[in-house]
Chain A
Amino acid sequence: MTDHDHDHHHHDHDHSELSETELRVRALETILTEKGYVEPAALDAIIQAYETRIGPHNGAQVVAKAWTDPAFKQALLDDATKAVSTLGHVSRVGDHLVAVENTPQRHNMVVCTLCSCYPWEMLGLPPVWYKAAPYRSRAVKDPRGVLADFGVSLPKETEIRVWDSTAETRFLVLPMRPEGTEGWSEQQLAELVTRDSMIGTGFPKTPGAPS
């Protein structure tokens, strides 16, 4: 990352910004919706069908590296922004990134206001339900219930921590490495890392299970 880029990432933290292209897309979508040419839900459905095919998905590589390289894992937990930058990813989400590790004792789950800085480069696109206010408030009040809705059941003794993303801090959940992956390469492991496992509403894929 050059110094210039670095400066660019830090300016204007007091208000939001949209690129010229994003402005054009939002303008068109608003017009077409108001005039009844498109339904936002129908657009969401199309986008959702491609959600795994958008962006570089750096997060899966970061998680896979942490699973195979103990020194990197420690560096990631100490300072995720710094650790991720050593991988050479050019990513505006590198700033203020915090990695939280799942263990048998503690499961982490992230909620977010979905401001313009949602870390899609790391995590892929947010799921549609993530945008809903009820998800956010329920996740804080009843995280176990929300997880159960997603088919995620945890032992009673596992504590659940809910992290609230803000403009200043974004969270990456470091899920537990699946059993039966001894000797796997980073590339093979990265294939198992799902978006939902990095926001704490799912587990990584199990080896051998159909994708």
Chain B
Amino acid sequence: MDEASVRATAALPGIPRDEDGPVFREPWEAQAFAMALALHARGLFTWNEWAAALAREIKRAQAAGDPDTGETYYRHWLATLENLVAEKGVASSDTQHRYREAWDHAADRTPHGQPIELTPADFG
């Protein structure tokens, strides 16, 4: 593990891990993890700030009936990223929604077996 990851996992005690460090069930979880590390490195938030935002998100999800077994940990992680990106004025949730729709459109028009790429035309 590199130093940034060591600090991140130390700051975030709830992170799914084994004795050697974080583990991920699916590739997107690692992508979401990497984005948080990169945004932290860029100074968008401190780990204290992140931990508080993540705790709020988990609490909200639990109140809505989430069992928080670890299986859903990175779903809360992703929601936290989206919230902070909006709160810090990087991109509003409307903008995020527009990009989601565009990726959905890109997937729809991409024949099975081809890499999916986003083009300006996908923003209908």
Which residues of A pack against B, CB within 8 Å? 12-18, 21-32, 35, 37-39, 42-43, 46-47, 49-50, 53-56, 113-117, 120, 125, 166-168
Contact = CB atoms under 8 A, between A and B. Distances in A.
Given A46-B33, A47-B30, A54-B30, A37 B113 contact: no
Interface stretch (B50-58, B60-68, B101-109): B101-109
Contacts of B46: none
A30 B99 contact: yes
A29 B90 CA distance: 12
A22 B28 contact: yes
A116 B113 CA distance: 7
Given A24-B82, A31-B90, A37-B39, A16 B112 contact: yes
Interface residues of B, number: 50
A15 B32 CA distance: 25
29 contacts: A15-B108, A15-B110, A16-B111, A18-B116, A21-B28, A21-B78, A22-B28, A24-B78, A24-B96, A27-B99, A27-B103, A31-B90, A32-B35, A37-B90, A38-B38, A38-B39, A43-B38, A46-B30, A46-B33, A46-B38, A49-B2, A53-B21, A54-B24, A54-B25, A54-B29, A55-B26, A55-B27, A115-B115, A116-B116
The 6 closest A-B pairs by CB, nearest first: A167-B113, A27-B99, A46-B34, A167-B112, A27-B100, A38-B38
B41 to A, nearest CB: 8
B118 A30 contact: yes
Contacts of A37: 38-39, 42, 44, 90
Nearest to A126: B27
Given A37-B90, A50-B24, A23 B100 contact: yes
Contacts of A12: 112
A123 B77 CA distance: 25
B39 A15 contact: no
B114 A115 contact: yes
Contacts of B95: 31
B113 A28 contact: no
B42 A38 contact: yes
B81 A28 contact: yes
Contact of A55 (B25, B82, B114): B25
Contacts of A21: 28, 75, 78
Nearest to B41: A42
B1 interface: yes
B114 to A, nearest CB: 6
A31 B91 CA distance: 8
B81 to A, nearest CB: 6
A43 B34 contact: yes
A30 B103 contact: yes
A120 B27 contact: yes
Contacts of A27: 96-97, 99-100, 102-103
